[in-house]
Amino acid sequence: MRKYYDEQKNQLAELYCNCCGKKIKTENGTIMEGVFPAHVLWGYFSGKDGERHQFDLCEDCYDKWVAAFQIPPETELENELL
């Protein structure tokens, strides 16, 4: 869950894991630890047609979530994180 200083959502004020509620460290609007941001616009043929969902998971909750997958996520190492 993200909280912003302004209605235009220009600067992040606080960030919380939607799963466990942990406050994720931020400094001056910059996220300072691992977080998984999810954004999805549900399309046709779903029970959520036209709904936009977004949430954030801390790294611990992400690890627990993907550990339950029958098929693990594909991963590859990036050389630069810019």
73: phi then psi, degrees, rounded to nearest 5: -65, 150
pTM: 0.83
Report residue 82's pLDDT band, with 50, 70 and 90 as the boundaries: low
Report residue 70's pLDDT band, with 50, 70 and 90 as the boundaries: very high
Amino acid at the residue 41: L
What's the pLDDT at 4?
Answer: 87
65 forms bridges with which residues in the sheet?
none
